[in-house]
Amino acid sequence: MAHLTAQQAAISTAPLNSHIFLEGPAGSGKTTTGVARLQHLLESGVPANTILVLVPQRTLAFPYLEAIRQPDLPPGGEVDIITIGGLAQRIITLFWPIIALPAGFRHPQKPPIFLTLETAQYYMASLIRPLLEQGYFESVKIHRNRLISQIIDNLNKASAVGIPYDQIGQRLKSAWIGDPAQKTIYDQAQECAIAFRRHCLENNLLDFSLKLEVFTKHLWKSFLVRKYLTQRYRHLIYDNIEEDVPIAHDTVREWLPEFETALLIYDSGGGFRSFLGADPLSAASLRESCDESVLFSGSHVMPPALSEFRISLTNTIQSKKALSLSSEALSSFTIEHHRFYPEMEHWVCSIVADLVRTQNVSPDEIVILSPFLSDSLRFSLMNRLNEYEIPSWSHRPSRSLRDEPATSCMITLAKLAHPQWKMPLSRFDLRCALMQSIAGLDLIRADLLAKITYKETKPEEGLSSFDRIQPAMQERITYWAGERFEQLRSWLAAYQRDAEIEPDIFFSKLFGEILSQPGFGFYNNLDAATVAAKLIESAKNFRRSIPKNRPPCGNIYIPMIEEGILAAQYLISWESAPRQAVFIAPAYTYLMSNRPVSYQFWLDIGNLGWWQRINQPLTQPYVLSRRWNENTVWTDAHEFQANQESLSRLVSGLLQRCKKHVFLCTAAINEQGSEERSPLLHAIQRVLRHTYALREAEDGV
Amino acid sequence: MPLPSDFQFSQSSLQNYVSCPRRFELLYILKINYPAPVSEPVLEYEQHIERGRIFHQMVHQHLIGLPPDTLSSMELDPILSEWWQNYLKAAPTTQMPLKRCAEFSLSTTLSGWRVTARYDLLAVEPRNKAIIVDWKTSITRPKADVLKTRIQTRLYPLILVEAGKTLNEGYPFAPEQIELQYWYPAFPNHPQHFRYGPEQYTKDRGYIQNLIAEIANTPENGFPLTSNTKLCQFCMYRSLCKRGSTAGDWTEMQSSYEAEDFSVPEFQLDFEQLQEIEF
């Protein structure tokens, strides 16, 4: 067990009938206390299977998961560590036969189908396609995929908050004061949400929103289910409650009296997931349901100098009295200015290299953060760090698999194997696929092979044989490459002689029988194997979520990937992340990993992305929250205030997770080539101006 | 690469090690996700696995009190329907102790590492006896002497002795109080029973401890490939190990019981994290 302060020890060993609300800032030792409490319960003989650890997001469960796997724990059952969504899915699966009919599902005798975000997007895309053709959302200038995800987001927020799903549009409209045409957009978004929900109920499909609703409105109210849950779980540890949604808080509020012990942990500066429906105020209201409330202060992570900087910066953002900084505070951060973005990237990587090489800092003690992480930024940083031989990894939730060369290769080969799909395939696509498929094949030879063996105008003919190429050209391409090409071509030809199979099975066989064999591009290439695995999993999820008794679905699946509707998945899950590598991520993603580090680099602090919320014409996180008064309209003043608060929370959260030093980097010309000056940059400048003005005054200058 | 400090052993991981140490290394230490087919025909195999999953789930639902009539009204394919009717007719749990724990996990520490077991059903009469039931949805029924050597047969009773006291009014079960039963819905009249005892317990404990120590002390690249190359037909790493290109027939895999637990944990997407998507 970690060394605990007296306050932490008192909570972790509190009597076995206590209901405690523990709050404090990040780094004050709350989760350590939660873990110690879990260990104490187990060591006191509490059956592990009666303990429920609830967290709002899987990444926040890691300290608890690690704790229950330690060999010094006593033998016994297993603790359940889960999110409210995970619990909902588990209970729906278990009680489906008795709940499907009352919950309104059309075919209760058939099993439920849980949708992933991507399969939900597929269904939503299918439903709105005819509406788009009729002119819906005509004035909205965003990509169709973002339209789809925002309608799904509306449903998720409504269920998370407890707003009836058919009142989303009305709520959004009543807060709107701009162009009246926007109200039509909200109506149309509402229509799509209703159509989607009906389709789900007709077909036993459960997206995240319906899963929450079925759990809270039906299962939680069922005597049998409640008896099952309350008998099963007698002890609760609920961490990071401020990042969870109000409907989870409501459930816990009702459930609390049934628990013998409960420890609720609240991060007073949190609420970073508010754009996903998290509600810190609703979380804080659970304090009243506990017998005891304990406040932690101070930080075991952030040094006093950074703490001083945090207070001054957040005060300035919130337009409170600016505080000047001491010399120690000034030395806790570095501001580095560059004119061009690549210069800034180069500087960041050189400093990282210096920290790792000269100062022996472990790479996992360093994070590089930006408001958003574009593919080019990610690629560029990882490449530069690679040149310094420093391992790095990135985690961007919305990164799409379709952009991966391994995915493109497999899709191209799928098109070649299925000429009946009549999907366009360019020579360029083929060239790239051949380079990926055949180990060591260079661009020139791949281009020659593609040019000679494939006719874009006659795709039905597929690839012609290497044997038919003139010997001089064969020699140029090399017989070695030709042999591999022939193996690939023969495999595709043999496949075409049999009946078409489902896309995931096709990809799996393609991978196993050809691409991962010695001499081919995926052999011993674990990154390509990981991408292939994700693609296959995506195709499998898709196949399982659509009705059975139909022809193979490759001709539906492939266009969905190419449009970016499907396969928008994580490339690296948190669990399989490299343990000693520099982490490159959007700032909010880093915050939700809740992992303090010694050094943080904030890129392009002049970027408005640090401050303003992204354009979401179909949704509005503040209006679709429990805090919003329905009789109010959303004004620019609200928007400004919300952005200020969110910036303040963000910088505070980041600094509270920094153990040593922050590098604040600016670029006069940003990634897009324009000049921006964000309120974050202004605030930092104000803090410095105030500090130096005061010093000058004190020095009598 | 050493085992991560929070590594947990299970019957599945230990069986994988016994079957092929290299596979253990690739799957559990290096965590390589290698998506080649495990067996053919893929859809038939998948359907079989799914049938097994649903059968386990229905029995779980039955054991927590959902009415059998309601469960019987679910749409089931003919094979699953027959399994379910066999279960209802044979009522294998009727004579068992009334304290029932379905889908229950226990874990303990052996040789300094956490070892876990997930039981389909534990039927317990505190201070007297405990029956471990495992629903076996394979299409063949292996002989008792084959089953007897399986890691599951040796590990499950052992963990119940070591970690089951919370189910036994705070007292550890004595080995002789434990029975393990494999129940086959396809062969409802031929369950396999294994009585446990102190001698077997001592033997199994030593065996599992040695096995774990051996794994933990194996250096990187010290995990050899199996000498039973037939198993490679049912392993997704076959191309990485240069042991073939095509998957074997799943019905053959079923008839060779050794291969059945050459099981693949599914690399599931983290659905909850997907909520983090940028809208």
For the segment A505-522, what is each residue's pLDDT rounded down to a tens digit?
999 999 999 999 999 999
How high is the ipTM of this complex? 0.91
Q: Is A116 on the interface with B (CB under 8 A)?
A: yes
pLDDT band at A2 (very low <50, low <70, confident <90, very high): low
> Is residue B168 included in any domain, yes or no?
yes
Which of A110, A407, A516 would best serve as a mutation to test chain B binding (most B beta carbons within 10 A)? Answer: A516
pLDDT band at A573 (very low <50, low <70, confident <90, very high): low
**B194 min Cα distance to partner chain A (Å):** 23
pLDDT at B252: 77
**B169 min Cα distance to partner chain A (Å):** 11
**B143 min Cα distance to partner chain A (Å):** 31
Instruction: Convert the pLDDT of each residue in B209-230 to its tens digit.
Output: 999 999 999 998 899 999 999 8
**A601 min Cα distance to partner chain B (Å):** 22
Neighbouring residues of B102: CB distance < 8 A, sequence distance ≥ 6 = B59, B60, B63, B64, B120, B121
pLDDT band at B269 (very low <50, low <70, confident <90, very high): very low
Helix axis angle, A117-133 to A526-545, nearest 10°: 60
pLDDT at A117: 85
Q: Please say if the pLDDT value at position A29 is more than 90.
A: yes
**A305 min Cα distance to partner chain B (Å):** 33
Q: Is A615 on the interface with B (CB under 8 A)?
A: no
Are the beta carbons of B137 and B155 closer than 8 angstroms? no
Partner residue opposite A116 with nearest CB, options B109, B247, B271: B271
Are the beta carbons of A363 and A391 closer than 8 angstroms? yes
Which is nearest to A698 in space by CA: A388, A338, A355, A326?
A: A326
A327 torsion bin: left (phi>0), alpha (psi -120 to 50), beta (else): alpha
Of A111-120, A557-566, A582-591, A610-619, least confident by mean pLDDT is: A557-566
What is the per-residue DSSP string for A377-395? HHHHHHHHHHHTT--EEE-
> Is residue B2 included in any domain, yes or no?
no
Q: Which two tokens stand for residue A224?
A: 């049998």
pLDDT band at A576 (very low <50, low <70, confident <90, very high): low
Q: Which two tokens stand for residue B251?
A: 């019905």
pLDDT band at A575 (very low <50, low <70, confident <90, very high): low
Distances (CA, A) of A40 to A9, A48, A61: 10, 11, 18
Q: What angle do CA A506, A509, A510 make, to 5 degrees?
A: 80
Q: Where are the beta strands (DSSP E) in A239-390?
A: 261-267, 292-295, 333-340, 366-370
Number of H helices, E strands in chain B: 10, 8
- Taken in order A102, A106, A109, A112, the sign of the CA dihedral is negative
What is the C-alpha to C-alpha distance for residues A86 and A208, in angstroms, rounded to an integer?
A: 10
More confident residue, B180 or A570: B180
pLDDT at A394: 84
Domain residues for the domain of B117 are: 8-260
pLDDT band at B4 (very low <50, low <70, confident <90, very high): confident
**B61 min Cα distance to partner chain A (Å):** 6
Helix axis angle, B42-63 to B78-90, nearest 10°: 30
Which of A49, A55, A59, A69 would best serve as a mutation to test chain B binding (most B beta carbons within 10 A)? Answer: A69
What is the C-alpha to C-alpha distance for residues A392 and A291, in angstroms, rounded to an integer?
A: 46
Which is nearest to B56 in space by CA: B120, B148, B4?
A: B120
Q: Is A581 on the interface with B (CB under 8 A)?
A: no
How confident is the model over A477-484, as a mean pLDDT? 96
Partner residue opposite A537 with nearest CB, options B236, B247, B267: B267
How confident is the model over A90-119, as a mean pLDDT? 95
How confident is the model over B15-29, as a mean pLDDT? 94
Long-range contacts of A187-192 (CB under 8 A, 24+ apart): A188/A131, A188/A136, A188/A137, A189/A137, A189/A150, A189/A151, A189/A154, A189/A618, A189/A619, A190/A166, A191/A131, A191/A136, A192/A124, A192/A127, A192/A128, A192/A131, A192/A136, A192/A151
What is the C-alpha to C-alpha distance for residues A110 and A96, in angstroms, rounded to an integer?
A: 9
What is the C-alpha to C-alpha distance for residues A598 and A604, in angstroms, rounded to an integer?
A: 20
How confident is the model over A53-75, as a mean pLDDT? 93
Q: Is A697 on the interface with B (CB under 8 A)?
A: no
Domains: count for chain B: 1
Provide the CATH number for the domain formed by A304-398+576-698 in this structure: 3.40.50.300
Q: Is B239 on the interface with A (CB under 8 A)?
A: yes
Q: Is B94 on the interface with A (CB under 8 A)?
A: no
Closest-CA residue of chain B to A114: B271
What is the C-alpha to C-alpha distance for residues A534 and A517, in angstroms, rounded to an integer?
A: 19
Its pTM stands at 0.92
Distances (CA, A) of A164 to A206, A379, A407, A622: 16, 43, 40, 16
**How many C-beta neighbours within 10 Å does residue A106 have?**
13
pLDDT at A514: 97
Chain B residues touching residue A102 (CB < 8 angstroms): none
Q: Please say if the pLDDT value at position B261 is more than 50.
A: no
Chain B residues touching residue A111 (CB < 8 angstroms): 54, 74
Q: Please say if the pLDDT value at position A141 is more than 90.
A: no
The residue behind tokens 């991520």 is A585
pLDDT at B275: 33
Amino acid in the structure at residue A3:
H
Q: Please say if the pLDDT value at position A116 is more than 90.
A: no
How confident is the model over A644-658, as a mean pLDDT? 96
Q: How many inter-chain contacts (A to B, CB under 8 Å) are there?
A: 189
CATH number for the domain including B180?
3.90.320
Decide: helix, strand or coil at residue A78.
coil
Was domain A6-82+234-295 assigned CATH 3.40.50.970? Answer: no
Cross-chain Cβ contact B54/A224 below 8 Å: no
pLDDT at A578: 65
Query: Do A6-82+234-295 and A304-398+576-698 come out as alike in CATH topology?
Result: yes
**B117 min Cα distance to partner chain A (Å):** 9
Task: Quote the DSSP letter at residue A223.
Answer: H
Neighbouring residues of B94: CB distance < 8 A, sequence distance ≥ 6 = none
- Reported as half-sphere exposure (CB side, CA atoms, 13 A), residue A576 has a value of 18
Of A507-511, A577-581, B83-87, B236-240, least confident by mean pLDDT is: A577-581
Specify the DSSP element, H or E, that contains A82: strand A80-82
pLDDT at A671: 74
pLDDT at B12: 93
> Is residue B275 included in any domain, yes or no?
no
Q: Which two tokens stand for residue A489?
A: 């071509």
Cross-chain Cβ contact B272/A511 below 8 Å: no
Distances (CA, A) of B235 to A560, B35, B231, B245: 31, 10, 7, 10
Distances (CA, A) of A468 to A450, A456, A463, A477, A494: 14, 18, 11, 13, 19
Q: Please say if the pLDDT value at position B1 is more than 50.
A: yes
Cβ within 8 Å of B, A 23-62: 45, 47-49, 57-59
Q: Please say if the pLDDT value at position B279 is more than 50.
A: no
Of A30-34, A185-189, A321-325, least confident by mean pLDDT is: A321-325
Q: Please say if the pLDDT value at position A39 is more than 90.
A: yes
Partner residue opposite A505 with nearest CB, options B42, B116, B245: B42
Are the beta carbons of A336 and A666 closer than 8 angstroms? yes
More confident residue, B21 or A570: B21
Cross-chain Cβ contact B273/A397 below 8 Å: yes
Are the beta carbons of B48 and B252 closer than 8 angstroms? no
> Is residue B201 included in any domain, yes or no?
yes
Amino acid in the structure at residue B267:
F
Partner residue opposite B42 with nearest CB, options A508, A523, A619: A508
Chain B residues touching residue A156 (CB < 8 angstroms): 275
Q: Which two tokens stand for residue A207?
A: 């997206």
Domain layout of chain A by residue ranges: 6-82+234-295, 106-207, 304-398+576-698, 401-562
pLDDT at A696: 81
Q: What angle do CA A129, A130, A131 make, to 5 degrees?
A: 90
pLDDT band at A398 (very low <50, low <70, confident <90, very high): low
Instruction: Convert the pLDDT of each residue in B37-82 to its tens digit.
Output: 999 999 999 999 999 999 999 999 999 999 999 999 999 999 999 9
Specify the DSSP element, H or E, that contains B39: strand B39-40
Of A15-24, A405-414, A538-547, least confident by mean pLDDT is: A538-547
Q: Is the peptide bond before B41 cis (omega within 30 degrees of 0)?
A: yes
B192 pairs with which residues across the strands?
Answer: B182
Instruction: Convert the pLDDT of each residue in A345-374 to its tens digit.
Output: 999 999 999 999 999 999 999 999 999 888
Which is nearest to A504 in space by CA: A471, A477, A530, A536?
A: A536
pLDDT at A478: 95
pLDDT band at A219 (very low <50, low <70, confident <90, very high): very high
pLDDT at B6: 86
Q: Please say if the pLDDT value at position A344 is more than 90.
A: yes
- The alpha carbon of A377 is separated from its chain's Cα centroid by a whole number of angstroms, namely 18
- The alpha carbon of B10 is separated from its chain's Cα centroid by a whole number of angstroms, namely 8
